[in-house]
Amino acid sequence: MRFGLALSVQHPPEDAQDLRFREHVEQVALARAVGFDSVWASQHYLSSPFTYFQPIPTLARIAAEADGMALGTGCLLLPLHHPVEVAEQIATLDVISGGRVIFGVGLGYRDVENEAFGQDPRERVGRLVEGLEVIERLWSGEPVTYAGRHFQLREVRISMPPLQRPRPPVWLAANSDAGVRRAARLGDAWLMNPHATLPTLERQLALFRETRRDAGKPPAGEVPMTKECYVAPDAAAALAEARPFLQSKYRAYQRWEQDKALPPGEGFALPFEELARDRFIIGDPRMVGDEIARYRERLGVTTITLRLQWPGLEQAKVLRSIRLLGEQVLPRFR
């Protein structure tokens, strides 16, 4: 089982953002030293009430400290972008990182982003589907002609294909059942979101596998999952320390209407204990390891990417989680 570090690229706007970025660099250096396999950065724009570091420059800078680690976009909001732009940016990042990019993409769900970029939300799926097709064809390095509804190309060739041949892995993030089926048809893997509970993930993973089977595709080689996680020597202290930051983060998600993108029956308007159950991984190293083992057993997870920070959480606590995971949890899974 492989472990990823999901950078929390959002911070309170009153923080010194350059200091926060240097802390991310320090987090990655420590994560690498204690055995993490990958680093992840996600994408949002106009991200009030918190700040946001864009993932491509973030991962490119981080690459200097992440030798040997995979770099994942988790996820890039593909419908907002032109596929020529994304194909070239990710190819450059793949070359910079020595061929270690995992290309994670998603639909996005925030009206403010679609509206600002002048995109009709009803065209998101079409732009995602066409965008992925164009990117994969450009990444072949051959001239591409494409007559889509959203994108048209005439005999153009990417400046430089990615270093990975035939291409970097494509992992699709999805919350809804329709998104999970799309991930099954179009991606190399479904990037399981951190918002759904274990029973929902179990049900959707069955749907993912069934859809691949029906489409005549082989089982996905990777079963990746992102989770919120906090580790402390004492379990009660872990819960008490993580709680205010996760509560504030999930209140912001509600204002962002992230919960509207979830399947029926899921939502964030819950008491913290209920929100945390089957959803967050919080505790002492033994409990956290048990919980990760449960996800591996129930879902067959191959890569678990842990977000260990939320806006405002201090660096010392993040580094402690990384260290405790590296020293006391990762060895159980190797």
Binding site for its own copies (CB under 8 A): 13, 17-18, 21, 44-48, 50-54, 56-61, 63-65, 80-82, 84-85, 88-89, 91-93, 95-96, 98-99, 112, 115-118, 151-154, 156-160, 163
Provide, rounded to whole angstroms, the least separation between the CB of residue 16 and its own copies.
9
Residue 63 or 242 having the CB closest to its own copies: 63
Residue 52 or 310 having the CB closest to its own copies: 52
Residues with Cβ within 8 Å of 70's Cβ and at least 6 positions away in sequence, in order, are 4, 37, 38, 39, 100, 101, 102
Q: How many helices and strands in the chain, by DSSP H and E? A: 11, 11
Residue 59 or 184 having the CB closest to its own copies: 59
Q: What is the dihedral of CA 201, 202, 204, 208, to 10 degrees?
A: 120
Provide, rounded to whole angstroms, the least separation between the CB of residue 174 and its own copies.
24
Residue 21 or 190 having the CB closest to its own copies: 21
Provide, rounded to whole angstroms, the least separation between the CB of residue 72 and its own copies.
14
Provide, rounded to whole angstroms, the least separation between the CB of residue 258 and its own copies.
16
For the chain, strand residue ranges (E) read: 2-6, 38-41, 70-77, 101-106, 144-147, 152-156, 170-174, 189-192, 224-231, 281-283, 303-307
Residue 58 or 200 having the CB closest to its own copies: 58
Provide, rounded to whole angstroms, the least separation between the CB of residue 312 and its own copies.
15
DSSP 8-state secondary structure symbol assigned to residue 269: -
Provide, rounded to whole angstroms, the least separation between the CB of residue 103 and its own copies.
14
Q: Are the C-beta atoms of 326 and 28 separated by less than 8 Å? A: no
Q: How far apart are the first and last CA of the chain?
A: 7
Residue 63 or 324 having the CB closest to its own copies: 63
For 70-196, strand residue ranges (E) read: 70-77, 101-106, 144-147, 152-156, 170-174, 189-192
Residues with Cβ within 8 Å of 187's Cβ and at least 6 positions away in sequence, in order, are 170, 171, 172, 220
Residue 96 or 207 having the CB closest to its own copies: 96
Provide, rounded to whole angstroms, the least separation between the CB of residue 14 and its own copies.
12
